[in-house]
Amino acid sequence: MNKFFVSLTLCGLLVSPAFAAPVRLKGAKADAFIAKYFPNADIPGPVEGSFTYKKGARTAVGHASCNVPAMGARSEGEVSTCTVKY
């Protein structure tokens, strides 16, 4: 059992960044994220897709699912939200 655990850990199966918790952005941070990574998105409404970002010296791919409320909903206090998986 110990050898199996060590081999999985060394292969990166147990310590992989794919198992990282998603990041949740709200308000101005979500708006800035959408403007940076999805500049041609049709808003208001849902924005979803993959994007590339720098991780140290290499380029990596992430996935985001965002929602931008319409102006009427914004005036009632709703804000943009994003769930980002790196």
Q: DSSP string of 11-74?
A: HTSSS-GGGSPPEEEETHHHHHHHHHH-TT---SEEEEEEEEEEETTEEEEEEEEEEE--HHHH
Q: Which residue has the higher pLDDT, 86 or 12?
A: 86
In whole angstroms, what is the distance from residue 75 CA to residue 31 CA? 16
Q: In the structure, what pLDDT confidence band is assigned to residue 14 with cuts at 50, 70 and 90?
A: very low
Residue-wise pLDDT tens digits, 31-81: 999 999 999 999 899 999 999 999 889 999 999 999 999 998 988 999 999
Question: Which positions ≥6 away from 2 have C-beta within 8 Å?
Answer: none
The least confident of 9-13, 62-66, 80-84 is: 9-13
Residue 11 confidence (pLDDT)? 46
For residue 44, cis peptide bond before it (omega within 30 degrees of 0): yes
Residue 86 confidence (pLDDT)? 87
pTM > 0.75: yes or no = no
